[in-house]
Amino acid sequence: MNSLTIVWIALPFFLGFVVYLIPRLDRYLALATGLASATYALLLFLAASPLRLQLLDQFGVTLLLDSLSGYFILTNALVTMAVVLYCWSSDKTAFFYAQLIILHGSVNAAFACTDFISLYVALEVSGIAASLLIAYPRTDRSIWVALRYLFVSNTAMLFYLVGAVLVYQSSHTFSFVGLRQAPPEALALIFMGLLVKGGVFVSGLWLPLTHSESETPVSAMLSGAVVKAGVYPLVRAALEVEELDPLIRSFGVGTALLGVAYAVFEKDTKRMLAFHTVSQLGFILAAPEVGGFYALTHGLVKSALFLIAGSLPSRSLKDLQHQPIDARIWLALAVASFSISGFPLLSGFGAKVLTMQSLASWQVIAMNLAALGTAISFAKFIFLPSGGEQAVKPGFWLALGLLLGGLVAANLVYIEAYTVANIIKPLAIIAAGWLLYWLLFRRLTVKLPRLLEQFDHLIGVMSLSLVLLFWMVLA
C-alpha cells in the first residue's frame, strides 16, 4: 500500500506532462487519472487501519490517509471524471486537459498530506492550475478573474508561510500536530491562509465572482473539488488537535449563515450556486468528524448543478421563470436540488442527518436556520416551469449520470439515517422553506451591495480576519 500511495500521488503530475507529448490521448489520460484516484479511494475504505507515511525525518513529508481523506479523494475523482465526460466532444485543447490533470493531482496531494509545507506546495500548484483553467477562454474578463484569484490566494499563502515557520520554531516540525505547542500568532496566520484559500467566512468573498464567471466545466471543478483543498486541512487540524475544534466549528456556523444569507437574495443562477458553495463549506466545518461524507455529497451535487446551470437558456432566474426549460433538464435539476435540501432517498439526506447529529448544542439553531435557507434558495430552481425544448452537449447526460448516480449510491453509506424522526425533520424544513419562498422571497427583490467583493476590500478584509482570528485564538 505504501508504494501504491506514492505512485498514486505522482501519477497525475506524470500524466499531466505526458499529455503535452501525446496530445491525441488527452481526454483518455484525464479520464484514466480520475479512475485511478477513484480506485485508490475505494481501496482506502477497504483498508483496516489508517495509513501513516513519514518520509525522511520529523521535519520531512508526512502523509495520512484514512476514510476521511478517502471521501475527499473520491469527490475529487468523480468530479474530475464528470468534467472530462462533459468536455469530451468539445474543442478543448490538450492544454486544458493537462491543467485539469495537474489540478486534480495537486488537490489529491492536499488531501493526503499532514504537514504544512507539502500542503503549501499542493495549494499553490492548485492555485496556478486553477487560474490557468479560469483564464482558458483568454477574454479580458476571464484573465482578470484568474489574476484576482491568483493574487488573493498568493497573498493569503504568504501569511500562511509566516505561520508555518513560527510552528517550526516552537516545535521543530512542520507537521499538523505541531499546532499544539504553537504560539497564538502562528495559529492565526495559518488559519487565515486556509480560510481564504477555502473561501470560508468573511475572507472567502472572492469565491462568488470566481466561480460564477468561469466556464461551466471549470466552475464545476472549482466548486466541487478545488475549494475543498483549503477546507480539508482545517477539518484535519480540528481532528488532530482537539483544542482547535470549537474554533473551527464556530467558523463553520458563521460561513453557513453568511453564504446562505447571500444565496437567498441572489437572482443569478451561477452566483447563487457559488454563494451556496460558501454556505455548504460551513456545513463541512461545523461537524469536522463527519465532514468527509458531507464533502462527497456536496461535491457531487454542486458540480451537477453547475453543469446544469450552464445548459439553461439564461442565467437570470427572472428570465427563466418565463421561459420553460427542457423537461429532462428540469428533472435532473430537481433531483440535485432535492438532494441538497436534504430530501430522503438521496445522499444529501444522510449527510445532513449525520451532520446535524454531531453538532454541539450551541450550533443547532444556527445550522437549522442555514438548512432552511438552503431549502428557500433551491425552491427557486424546483419551481421553474418545464416543458421547453433544448439541445445539450453530447457529454452532458453521461456526466450527470455519473454524478447523480453517485448521489443515489452514496445514500447507502448511511442507511441507518432512515428513522421516522429523522425523515420528518428535513421534510418539515423543506416545507417551511417552500412556504417562505412562495409567500415572501419570490416577490422580494433585494440587491445586496457587491462592495466587499472588490479587490482592495478582499485584501483589506484579510487583515481584519487576521485580527479576529488572533483574538479568538487568545480567548
Partner 1 sequence: MLEAFVLITIICGFFGIIFKKNLLMKIISMDVMSTGVVAYYVLIAARSGLFTPILADFSAASPASPVAYADPVPQAVILTAIVIGFSIQALMLVGVMKLSHDNPTLEISQVELNNTP
Give contact residues for partner 1 (rule: CB under 8 A): 59, 117, 120-121, 124-125, 127-128, 131-132, 135, 138, 140-141, 143-147, 150-151, 154-155, 158, 161-162, 165, 168-169, 174, 209, 213, 450, 454-456, 459-460, 463
Nearer to partner 1, 313 or 460 (CB): 460
| Smallest gap from residue 168 Cβ to partner 1 (A) | 6
| Smallest gap from residue 202 Cβ to partner 1 (A) | 16
Nearer to partner 1, 328 or 450 (CB): 450
Tell me the C-alpha distance between 204 and 227, whole Å.
10
| Smallest gap from residue 149 Cβ to partner 1 (A) | 10
| Smallest gap from residue 103 Cβ to partner 1 (A) | 15
Tell me the C-alpha distance between 77 and 32, whole Å.
10
403 CB-side CA count, 13 A: 36
Nearer to partner 1, 29 or 458 (CB): 458
| Smallest gap from residue 319 Cβ to partner 1 (A) | 15
| Smallest gap from residue 275 Cβ to partner 1 (A) | 15
Nearer to partner 1, 271 or 380 (CB): 271
Nearer to partner 1, 18 or 459 (CB): 459
| Smallest gap from residue 326 Cβ to partner 1 (A) | 26
Nearer to partner 1, 403 or 461 (CB): 461
N residues, the chain: 475
Nearer to partner 1, 89 or 139 (CB): 139
